[in-house]
Amino acid sequence: MTQWRLPLAAVGGLLLGVGAVPACISRADAPFTRQTDRNAGGGAPSTINVEGGTSDPSINLSPPAPHAVLSVDPPHGSFAGGGLALVRGNGFTSGARVWFGDVELPAAGRVPVDPQRIQVTVPSGHAGAVDVTVQNGNDKSTKASLSGGYTYDRFYTDPPSGPTSGGSAITLKGDATNWGATTTVQIDHLPCVVSTVRSPTELVCTTPADTPGSKPVRVTTGDGVQVDVLDGYSYGNSDDGFKGGLSGNTLSGNLRVLAVDNITGLAVAGATVVVGAEVASADVLKTDESGVAVDERAGLGPKQTVTIARKCYEPQTFVDVTVNTVTAFMDPILSPDCGSKGDLPPSGGVATYGANVAGQVVWPSGGEFKREGWRDVPRPKSSDEKLVAYVFRLSPNPTDRFALPSAVDAITPDSAGDSGYSFTTFGQPGNFTLYALAGLENRSRTPPTFTAYQMGLVRGVAAQAGETKKDVFIQIDADLDHTLELDLTPPTVTARGPNQMQASASIQVGSEGYAVLPNGYISRSLPLAGGLSFVGVPTLSGSLLGTSYIATAQAVTGESGGTPRSVVGLVSSKSTSQPLVIDQFVQVPVLTAPTPNSAWNGTTLSSTQAGGGAPVDLVVYDIESAGGLVAWTVVAPGSSTGFSIPNLNALSSDLGIRKGPISITVSAAHITGFTYSALRYRDTTQRGWTAYATDVFYASY
């Protein structure tokens, strides 16, 4: 049977029915129309054999052009750019240049893989289709274009993903849109309630609950014009979009409190809300079925202490609230006492939908395309040393320690691959970054050792839940041959500690996360005799262009990193030419009420600190009872060194902490650009703190 290739227009028509498609615009009262590719020429054959041939023997296909651009995968994406795409065609060389419309991609934004494939990072553009052009160097005779090869979507969502429970406030950003008060938004045909229209090109809506996966987003304006992006938003098992905390206008005569289950995202009805520091004089309210309680008493301002509690949920208190809205995400207490007929309350258990990524680690070719690797890695000196590479996802925490993967995940010179060396990895779906480290490994030692000499990174990998994303290429183009030095000023050392300085260095990739390095951790005893040096960090060039060095340091007690502890994070630099100065340590807090190892009255909390160090913006007290089963979180501004909270057990023994031994963890935090009246839940945890100090004390209740 004669084999032939479908014309591009026909292929595009088939794909429109089964795969991701560019954003399309139509009127609600008009039939759906499809535009064929402008390069398709004449119509498709009258009969098509789905097995790959044609029943018309008179058709003579032209031989393929020596230089051509045939497709772009995916064929569409955000007009903000930044996504990963694979350009397929013929006749590409290692010096191939790529244009999207009139925009030429920089060298760091393209990875020529072989004569048929170039991986690119899509540049920003404007909504609509653009030509995709490839030319080998300055040889204009090799120039080839695919007309309308890539389509920029009319809008995108920020963030692009969120939890399946919904309730996330997301921003839609459009290009040449005309959004207004009558504009509506749907995600997967469910309403995303518009709360704010900031401009004709930007609005905010609250996501509905839905199942995991990538979902279509539709925006409809008042005149009936609809704009669809078929994979515009992804649901996953994460807490993206959960803001919570304090917001609204200045507190005067109206206070609104919303209680939400931190696991399910559902409203918590029947929760007790105490507005005031003493139960006898406080306003005591109950949340309704929507989880809302409103205190409309005149004269509430200028500030109030607000406590939210309910049986089977851990209580929370916000001290000195000066705004009129409090949103509390409440953690369930995982106790048999909290279940109906012995059943525990919902606490997760949602199926996890992951995504596979398959691709190759490649090295830049010295001439035309070759399969070569580990070019600047020293040769093994013994049979125990092996040339290996590993692929990682970015870490959300810059202080995470490097962990050597299993030997079965190693990429070696014997790994399969045509242009490079094959890898597969699995993780949460979404849009993420991968990085690869190549070097020497010795697993005969205890523990095994891995010394990295080269590195590469690829951004904009988009993989949906349950999908296997193929043909992802990570180019190894950065040498780990620099030294990053730290100049440290530790906090005051007390009789309790700290007595150790631990420091880490990683690579920050925008807001996406951190590339953790094998040699990115150092531990030394206090007091320090000098600075600390990280030998073997990468140059910030090639695929690492635009990233930053990130250093963190913590003064801890004992090698295990115990309390008292003082931590400074996210000190950044673009260069290793000068030492990074880290002098913003927060002084360790000391609990003064209750005094350690004494009986607590259940209402008074206070703490103090030594002078100097970074300013304190927030103090968080975590009071644990019943062996850690029940905890009470108290959040206060840094200026409130002492205050009272309501005795919840005076209302009900089911609301407060349990009688007996308790532990009180006091954390004093410094947060750059922080305003207490705009506090978010991220600000109440270590991931939101620029620097902090913490210690644990014991008492009884």
pLDDT tens-digit map of 525-570: 998 888 899 999 999 998 999 899 999 999 999 988 899 999 997 7
Tokens 């399910």: give the residue. Answer: 264
| Phi then psi dihedrals of residue 281, to 5 deg | -110, 0
Q: Tell me the residue type at 619.
A: V
CA distance 570 to 574: 13
Give domain limits for the chain: 8-152, 158-236, 482-556, 589-700
Q: How far is CA 520 from the centre of its chain?
A: 21
pLDDT tens-digit map of 313-340: 999 999 999 999 999 999 998 777 775 5
The pLDDT assigned to 169 comes to: 86
Peptide linkage before 447 cis (omega within 30 of 0) = yes
CA distance 516 to 72: 32
Q: Which of 60-74, 112-126, 548-562 has the lowest mean pLDDT?
A: 60-74
| Triad 255, 258, 259: Cα angle to 5° | 140
For residue 44, pLDDT over 70 is answered with no
Nearest CA-CA partner of 119 in 456, 479, 482, 472 = 472
Q: Which fold has domain 589-700?
A: Immunoglobulin-like (2.60.40)
Taking 3-state DSSP, the helix, strand and coil percentages for the chain, each rounded to the nearest 5, stand at 5, 50, 45
Q: Which two tokens stand for residue 674?
A: 């922080």
Q: Tell me the residue type at 169.
A: A
158-236 matches 8-152 in CATH topology: yes
For residue 474, pLDDT over 90 is answered with yes
Q: Which fold has domain 8-152?
A: Immunoglobulin-like (2.60.40)
Report the pLDDT averaged over residues 272-277: 96
In the chain, the percentage of residues whose pLDDT exceeds 90 is 65
**Cβ(313)–Cβ(334) below 8 Å:** no
Q: What residues contact 533, with CB distance under 8 A and at least 6 apart?
A: 483, 484, 485, 486, 522
How confident is residue 366, by pLDDT bands cut at 50, 70 and 90? low
Report the pLDDT averaged over residues 149-175: 88
Q: Which two tokens stand for residue 132?
A: 């995709």
**C-beta atoms surrounding 673 within 10 Å:** 7
Report the pLDDT averaged over residues 504-516: 92
For residue 22, pLDDT over 50 is answered with no
How confident is residue 49, by pLDDT bands cut at 50, 70 and 90? very low
List the beta bridge partners of residue 359: 423, 472
The pLDDT assigned to 253 comes to: 81
The pLDDT assigned to 243 comes to: 62
The pLDDT assigned to 352 comes to: 53
Secondary structure (3-state) at 10: helix
The pLDDT assigned to 588 comes to: 94
The model's pTM is: 0.68
For residue 3, pLDDT over 80 is answered with no
Mean pLDDT of the chain, nearest integer: 86
The listed CATH number (3.30.300.180, 3.40.50.80, 1.10.240.10, 2.60.40.10) that belongs to domain 158-236: 2.60.40.10
Q: What residues contact 654, with CB distance under 8 A and at least 6 apart?
A: 311, 312
Nearest CA-CA partner of 169 in 264, 257, 241, 267 = 241
Tokens 């530790």: give the residue. Answer: 490
Q: How far is CA 73 from the centre of its chain?
A: 24
**Cβ(232)–Cβ(174) below 8 Å:** no
